[in-house]
Amino acid sequence: MVSLASMHPQPTGHQFQKYPTDLPSLSADQERFSKFDRRLSKPVIGYDGKIYACSDKDLFAFQSNGSIFWTIRLNYTCNADRAPISGGNEKIYVVAENRILKINLLNIGTSQPAAEVFLGLQPGKEGNGEIIGLSASTLVSSIFINIKGRGLFAYTTLGKLLWSAGPVIDQFGYRQGCRKNATDCYFTSVPVIDQCEASIYISNTEGELYSLSVRSPQFKWIQDLSSLDKVFTITPGNNGRLYVVVPVKALLLALDISSGNVLWQGSIGPLAAADSAPVVDCNGNITFL
C-alpha cells in the first residue's frame, strides 16, 4: 500500500437461500466456490455495509468477515469485469449479458421478485451495444449508463430516460469533443460521479476527459490528456479536485473540477495494475492499495 499526502422492468425470478452468519472463516466460502471453478466479479460495498459481488448467474452478499449472508439466482450471466453498483434506497444494479438488472434488497426472502430487468438492449432498438459501465447518483436519484458507440444515457431509478449525450456536440458553430477523430470516437470509461459537485466525469477513445452535469447533457469542460496517454483512471476527490492516474507513465494528476485545468502532477512509481485508482480521504490524503 502506498500512501501520499495531498500533493500540490421485466422480472427475472430468483431463488433465495439464507446462510449462517457465523461461518468460521472465508476459507469455507472459498471451498464452496472452488467446486464450481468460478470467479467473483469486482465487489462493491453497499450502504448497509455488506459486500456485493456476482459470479455466473448468482449475486452474493458477504458480511464483513467474509461469510456469505445470502445469494440469489439471476436468469442472466453477470459481467465479472463490471462491479455491481449501489443505487441507494436498498437497490443494487448488475450488468448481466446485454442487460442491467435491478435488485431490490427489501424483497430478498419475500414472495416478491428481488431482481428485474432495468434496461435490456435489443437488436434494432435504441442503445444497442456493449454496456461499458454505469454509475448511480443518490443526489438526483438517477442511473448513468455508458453504451459503447451510443453515448451516455441518464435514467431515473424508475427507468425513465432523462437525457443522453454523445462525445461530440456542435455549439455556436464550434465542434466540441473528439477533435482528432470524430468517426470512431466514443465514450470509453465508466461514468464517475462527484457527489459533492453533482458532476459526471467520463473519457473517450482519444484521451479526452469530459465533465458534465448530472442534471443535463451539457459539457462543463473537456480536457485533452492524449499527450500523456489515451488510457487513464478517474477518481473524484469530493474536495474540489479530480485525480487522474496515467498507468503507462505512472503519473498522478490533480485537476481543478471547475475548469479541468491540471493543477499539479507527480510520479507515483510502479502500479499494481493498469486500472489502479487512488482512494482519497476527507483530508485530501491519497492512498494507492
Rounded Cα distance, 18 and 68, in Å: 8
**pLDDT (tens place) for every residue of the chain, 289 residues total:** 444 544 444 444 444 444 343 433 444 555 555 555 568 898 999 988 999 999 999 999 999 999 999 999 999 999 988 899 998 879 999 999 989 999 999 999 899 999 999 999 865 454 457 899 999 998 899 999 999 999 999 999 999 999 999 999 887 778 889 988 778 899 999 999 998 888 999 999 999 999 999 999 989 999 999 999 999 999 998 888 999 999 989 999 999 999 999 999 999 877 777 777 777 876 678 787 6
Instruction: Quote the pLDDT of residue 128.
Output: 55
Instruction: Quote the pLDDT of residue 259.
Output: 96
Instruction: State whether residue 25 is helix, strand or coil.
Output: coil
Instruction: List the grid coordinates of 285.
Output: 490524503
What beta strand segments (E) does 74-218 contain?
Answer: 85-88, 91-96, 99-104, 115-120, 131-137, 142-147, 151-156, 161-165, 169-171, 174-176, 192-194, 199-203, 208-213
